[in-house]
Amino acid sequence: MAAYTSDEMMTIAAARMVRNGSSCFVGIGLPSAAANLARLTHAPDAVLIYESGTIGTKPNVLPLSIGDSELAETADTVVSLVEIFNYWLMGGRISLGFLGAAQIDRFGNLNSTVIGPYGKPKTRLPGAGGAPAIAASCGEVLITLRHNARAFVSKLDFVTTMGHGAGGDARKKLGLPGKGPTAVISDLGILAPDPSSKELVLQSVHAGVTVEQVVAATGW
Catalytic residue numbers, as ranges: 51
CA–CA dist 61, 46 (Å, integer): 17
Reduce the DSSP state of residue 12 to 3 states and report it: helix
CA–CA dist 135, 101 (Å, integer): 12
- Check: CB of residue 100 under 8 Å from CB of residue 186: no
Phi-psi region of 180 (alpha: psi -120 to 50; beta: other; left: phi over 0): left
CB hemisphere CA count around 174 (13 angstroms): 18
Q: How far is CA 96 from CA 15, 81, 101, 128, in A?
A: 12, 18, 17, 18
Backbone angles phi, psi at 211, to 5 degrees: -60, -35
CA–CA dist 4, 208 (Å, integer): 11
CA–CA dist 190, 183 (Å, integer): 7
